[in-house]
Structure 1
Amino acid sequence: MINNLEAFTMTNYEDLIPRFLKYVKTETRSDEESNTVPSAPNEVTFLHELEQELNDLGLAEVKYNEANGYVTGLLPSNLDKNVPTIGFLAHVDTADFNANGVNPQFVENYDGQSIIKLDPAGDFVLDPAEFPSLKKYAGHTLITTDGSTLLGSDDKSGVAEIMAMLSYLLAHPEIKHGDLKVGFGPDEEIGTGADRFDVADFDADFAYTVDGGPLGQLEYETFSAAAFKLHIQGKNVHPSGAKGIMVNAIQLGVDFQSAFPANETPETTEGREGYYHLLSFNGTVEEADLDYIIRDFETTGLEARKQFVTDLVAKMNAQFDEPRLTLKMWDQYQNMIDVMKDHMSVVQLAERAMNALGITPDEEPVRGGTDGSKISFMGLPTPNIFAGGENMHGRYEYVSTQVMSQAVDVLLKINELNVTEN
């Protein structure tokens, strides 16, 4: 384990890893309880820093949009013909896991077999027996956490890769390209970041989010998603005389959760199987609050799951003289395949780019969602491309510097093919 930048082999893009290291050391967790856009002030600060970086690079039309929190910019075409305008997007917020004091560690020339100690005491380790994905990275330089925070590769890898692409093109003006639009936005991790994205203002013909995981991921089918909050109002009296009077909100919450199919949770499903996921449960005898998300690949399946929840609440309320359970449920995003099926040329362009670089596209459906889910339904087809991260959202997160470099290769190759094929 080493921890200085000079000690490991540099990638093909000299500013890629230094930018990434700088970005992950800035705390930018989004805040689900906030009513502001962006949801957290640290996001705003970081977005303005990216705005300055785009200006320093010399991009045109650089601006921070107060209405939606996006920083956007244009690298103007250097062609004597018109080709489609491509957009590249990434989000700046990280998941709700400790992100203060991120201290990246480097493992150079990893052998694909050894256990990696994240902290000096070895309380937290990356063990190939537990994380078999490590076996793919023999010979790679890995960036890990120190065990106390997440890393932030989701999605500061994507931010750094887009910036490295721009820097490389500007340093090599002989490389021909059409108009390229870039955008960095907030609050993807809490599912609201793309709600106010301005497709007309961004003015691209199609786009890619650079927000995927391992090498080769190319995603254009996602879950359809909903969420709900359940408030339970109990009645607390002294236990000595509670019979027939007390209503224990905690017990009602336990009964509610127990009514869900035990084999339809994230930890029991895979592939195209949907689930119900209890995110939090807080309560006393007097009142309790439960937060859930619901996921399904089919719209009809999502609607059936939502109806199950609604019916369960009604059934439990029917036990009492007055309603004790209050349900608030809302849709989050839809399966982007409903749009992308009519724009598969955008996916095929990315496929050709990867194949040309010897990268096998991995097109498994996403057991999650991306900003591209919403943006595609807004009229801008936006599949998702790998950014390199593994084990995202926690202390076991890591990323390969070589894969990050390959992500930049793909972005540049997409641009090249857009020029040569149009």
Structure 2
Amino acid sequence: MSSVLNRFLSYVQIDTQSDPQSTSFPSTEKQRDLSNLLVIELQELGIEDAHLDEHGYVYATIPANSEKSNIPVICFCSHVDTSPDVTGANVEPIVHQKWNGQDIVLPDDPTQILKLSEHPDLKNQIGNDIVTASGTTLLGADNKAGVAEIMAAAEVLMTDKRIKHGVIKILFTPDEEVGHGTEKVDINKLGADYGYTVDGEAVGTMEDETFSADGVKISIHGVSTHPGYAIGKLENALKIAGEILAALPKNLSPETTENKDGFIHPVHIEGIQEQAVLDFIIRDFTESGLHEKEALLKEIMKKVLVNYPNSKAEFKVTEQYRNMKEILDQHPQVIDNAMEAMKRSGLNPVTRSIRGGTDGSRLSFMGLPCLNIFAGEHAFHSRLEWVSVQDMEKAVEVIVNLAQVWEERS
């Protein structure tokens, strides 16, 4: 398990940011830099079939070493890309050894201060080793902590033959952060019965419920004319877009919602006088709530357009993922075995909902019931992102225990 830190420090220095505006797949070629390295490292562990496919997915198989023939095939999955929200280039990871509970000032930007008062999960980390970036970039723990943990667990399973397990599949995906992480997964080629994404937060937590998610694109076509002679003619698409944004209910924004509340969130705007495009993400834990918010947004658009009779707009909804609880409730053993694996690691497992999504959301609906377990990542999508070395080591232990629990209970 000591390899997990070294692996993590290596992986985060490889820029793998995905790009939501890209039309290629994966959205950035640089994601393959890490994926190619992972294939080499898997092959060095003796995993002969490890390979990178044409879409940027890493597939690998740890062969069974149990005499039992009825063990379900289990998959462990993490994503290689990092969020577009903050740069992931030139990451300089810092290990703050035996953290004493004092504020951590990140050296490359002293305004970035990791405070116990603002990050309550730090209260369990006093005396542990905390890894951060230097203050100007993401760390990349989301989800390179999970990648490193799966790789370290693979090392354990390939070298310690006393640990009995069935066939274990490994899947590393691109573009999870931009909603396309499972778009080109070959589920038949993967050949797994059940799965675990290693992409969660606090140690001991598992998530069996996610948002249901859609994207909405509003394409506005205004009326352009010379501004000096625009009276009674000009209908500025940028102003129409601005009025739509101004009319959004404040109680349905990410910054005003929590727990099981959903939201409407604008994420991108571009345009000129004649035309403009607004991109939104819509989130709710129920599909009915999702559709209600989409209907509300469409009604806002229509009301704004009433004052612009010569303009028009298209409203396009794209399904992104659905709440995986609907699938996992049909396969309670996926959660039960994870709870047992965590208890064997000395943890008190906690099941909760995640106000987001994972690759496991779509994998579950593709036929691979998939629970999300902790990777130890915190403050993701920010320059204050951090992870505990001890939490990463505990995640490795849980992955190894999971392989054993499925073998024993078969």
TM-score w.r.t. the length of structure 1 is 0.92
1:327: Cα distance to partner?
A: 2.3
Matched with 2:77 is 89
Select 1:77's aligned residue among 55, 64, 73: 64
Q: Distance in 2 between matches of 1:281 and 1:37?
A: 22
Per the alignment, do residues 288 and 350 of structure 1 end up closer, same or farther by CA in structure 2, a change over 3 Å counting?
Answer: same
Q: Distance in 2 between matches of 1:34 and 1:277?
A: 20
Number of residues of Structure 1 aligned to a counterpart in Structure 2: 408
Matched with 1:103 is 92
Q: Distance in 1 between matches of 2:176 and 2:390?
A: 25
Q: Distance in 2 between matches of 1:155 and 1:139?
A: 24
Are the aligned partners of 2:259 and 2:355 in contact in 1 as well (CA < 8 Å)?
A: yes
Select 1:224's aligned residue among 209, 212, 217: 212
Q: Distance in 1 between matches of 2:398 and 2:121?
A: 22
Matched with 1:59 is 47
Structure 2: unaligned runs, 5 residues or longer:
none
The residue identity in structure 2 corresponding to 1:33 is: Q
1:267: Cα distance to partner?
A: 0.6
Q: Distance in 2 between matches of 1:378 and 1:73?
A: 19
Q: Distance in 1 between matches of 2:228 and 2:191?
A: 68
1:53: Cα distance to partner?
A: 1.2
1:199: Cα distance to partner?
A: 1.6
| Other structure's SS at 1:308 match | helix
Would you say 1:377 and 2:365 are equivalent positions? yes
1:246-281 CA-partner distances (Å, limit 9, x unpaired): 223232122111222111111100000000011123
Q: Distance in 2 between matches of 1:50 and 1:138?
A: 32
Percent identity, please: 38
Would you say 1:156 and 2:144 are equivalent positions? yes
| Other structure's SS at 2:290 match | helix
Deviates more, 1:322-331 or 1:39-48: 322-331
Select 2:295's aligned residue among 307, 316, 319: 307
Matched with 1:281 is 269
Q: Distance in 1 between matches of 2:25 and 2:267?
A: 23
| Other structure's SS at 2:175 match | coil
TM-score w.r.t. the length of structure 2 is 0.95
1:55-83 CA-partner distances (Å, limit 9, x unpaired): 111113222222x4211111111111122
| Other structure's SS at 2:152 match | helix
Structure 1: unaligned runs, 5 residues or longer:
1-12
Q: Distance in 2 between matches of 1:72 and 1:378?
A: 17
The residue identity in structure 1 corresponding to 2:316 is: K
Select 1:346's aligned residue among 330, 334, 359: 334
The alignment yields a C-alpha RMSD, in angstroms, of 1.7
Matched with 2:200 is 212
Q: Distance in 2 between matches of 1:280 and 1:196?
A: 25
The residue identity in structure 1 corresponding to 2:383 is: R
1:236: Cα distance to partner?
A: 4.4
The residue identity in structure 2 corresponding to 1:157 is: A
The residue identity in structure 2 corresponding to 1:111 is: N
Matched with 2:404 is 416
Are the aligned partners of 1:281 and 1:289 in contact in 2 as well (CA < 8 Å)?
A: yes
Q: Distance in 2 between matches of 1:214 and 1:409?
A: 15
1:8-58 CA-partner distances (Å, limit 9, x unpaired): xxxxx1211111111000001112222222221111232122111111111
Matched with 1:116 is 104
Are the aligned partners of 2:263 and 2:284 in contact in 1 as well (CA < 8 Å)?
A: yes
Q: Distance in 1 between matches of 2:25 and 2:41?
A: 22
| Other structure's SS at 1:220 match | strand
Are the aligned partners of 2:243 and 2:304 in contact in 1 as well (CA < 8 Å)?
A: no
Are the aligned partners of 1:60 and 1:76 in contact in 2 as well (CA < 8 Å)?
A: no
Deviates more, 1:137-146 or 1:126-135: 126-135
| Other structure's SS at 2:251 match | coil
1:121: Cα distance to partner?
A: 5.7
Q: Distance in 2 between matches of 1:88 and 1:250?
A: 45
Q: Distance in 2 between matches of 1:179 and 1:107?
A: 37
Are the aligned partners of 1:16 and 1:160 in contact in 2 as well (CA < 8 Å)?
A: yes
1:119: Cα distance to partner?
A: 1.8
The 5 Å alignment of 1:149-298 reads: 149-237=137-225, 239=227, 241-298=229-286
Q: Distance in 1 between matches of 2:275 and 2:193?
A: 50
Matched with 1:324 is 312
Would you say 1:141 and 2:134 are equivalent positions? no
Q: Distance in 2 between matches of 1:244 and 1:250?
A: 17
1:381: Cα distance to partner?
A: 0.6
The residue identity in structure 1 corresponding to 2:13 is: K
Q: Distance in 2 between matches of 1:16 and 1:121?
A: 27
Q: Distance in 2 between matches of 1:313 and 1:181?
A: 46
| Other structure's SS at 2:235 match | coil
Are the aligned partners of 1:59 and 1:73 in contact in 2 as well (CA < 8 Å)?
A: yes
Deviates more, 1:75-84 or 1:383-392: 75-84
1:115: Cα distance to partner?
A: 1.1
The residue identity in structure 2 corresponding to 1:75 is: I
Q: Distance in 2 between matches of 1:49 and 1:221?
A: 32
1:237: Cα distance to partner?
A: 4.4
Q: Distance in 1 between matches of 2:109 and 2:266?
A: 33
Matched with 1:367 is 355
| Structure 1 segments (4+ residues) deviating >6 Å | none
The residue identity in structure 2 corresponding to 1:352 is: E
